[in-house]
């Protein structure tokens, strides 16, 4: 299927590895000029060179950085934003501190708001655009070992739904893609000492862990003009576990 994305420009945050890098590669394969964003200028430059994109490094959680990246993206004619940044940590109610809660909310939610503020006027003025946020299965089935992350991702889903309503009639859509358990390099490291643990992370009808490419395929579709009528929704990429939860 031709997704009609050639010639568009996209900013993919936290795209120097894992799910973000897979999204950047998938969009580039459809002819999108991708701005690769991440904390490491070296890693961003390396992937940008690989896919024919542009590096836009920076720490979106530091003061003023998200607004600066949003302004530079608007100046470059970006009409697709994929906000993949979503730091997480494993904490329970017993050990999560106020600083842990704040860091999770700042990384997952506040960074997105700050990024959008300078970028939304440009998207609306163009009369076409896409905002895709990356949620998590944890938003609807909160994990007791990731309490602040689960709450922050629920806020991302709520924010995106509100944004879709706000943008109604502008030609800009906003949707969430929520992965289940995805076999990122970081997760693979968790299984390095005990590969048998993997089975406990994939209790879904698909019978396997998801891959970054599974998530990237869903994101690329939602970003495309083919998905014009998809708006304000949450697309779960979790192997079918959600209906069973």
Q: Which residues are catalytic?
A: 149
Q: Which two tokens stand for residue 68?
A: 């600066």
> Could you give the 3-state DSSP secondary structure of residue 223?
helix
Residues 6+ apart with CB under 8 A from 239: 180, 202, 204, 205, 206, 207, 208, 210
* Cα end-to-end span (Å), the chain: 33
Pull the structure tokens for residue 242. 């959600």
DSSP code of 170? Answer: T
CA dist 108 and 86 (Å) reads: 5
Q: What is the largest CA-CA distance in the chain?
A: 52
Retrieve residue 7's tokens.
């010639």
- Strand partners for 143: none
Q: For residues 220 and 166, what is the distance between their CA atoms, to the nearest angstrom?
A: 23
Please name which of 110, 122, 112 lies closest in space to residue 74, comparing C-alpha atoms.
122
Q: Which two tokens stand for residue 111?
A: 């960074």
Our CA angle for 100, 103, 144, nearest 5°, is 45
């Amino acid at each position: 299927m031709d997704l009609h994305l050639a010639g568009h420009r996209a900013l993919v945050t936290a795209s120097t590895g894992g799910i973000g890098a897979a999204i950047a590669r998938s969009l580039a394969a459809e002819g999108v000029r991708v701005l690769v964003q991440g904390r490491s200028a070296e890693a961003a430059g390396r992937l940008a060179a690989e896919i024919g994109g542009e590096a836009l490094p920076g720490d979106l959680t530091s003061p003023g950085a998200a607004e600066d990246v949003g302004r530079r993206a608007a100046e470059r004619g970006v009409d697709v934003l994929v906000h993949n940044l979503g730091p997480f940590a494993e904490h329970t109610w017993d050990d999560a501190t106020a600083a842990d809660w704040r860091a999770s909310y700042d990384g997952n939610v506040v960074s997105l708001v700050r990024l959008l503020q300078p970028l939304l006027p440009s998207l609306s003025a163009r009369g076409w655009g896409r905002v895709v946020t990356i949620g998590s299965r944890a938003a609807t089935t909160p994990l007791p070992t990731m309490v602040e992350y689960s709450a922050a991702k629920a806020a991302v889903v709520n924010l995106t739904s509100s944004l879709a309503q706000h943008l109604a009639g502008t030609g800009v859509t906003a949707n969430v893609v929520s992965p289940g358990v995805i076999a990122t390099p970081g997760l693979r490291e968790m299984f390095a000492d005990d590969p048998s643990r993997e089975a406990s992370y994939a209790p879904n009808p698909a019978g396997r862990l998801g891959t970054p490419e599974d998530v990237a395929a869903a994101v690329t579709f939602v970003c495309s003009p083919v998905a014009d009528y998809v708006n304000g929704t949450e697309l779960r990429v979790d192997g079918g576990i959600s209906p069973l939860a």
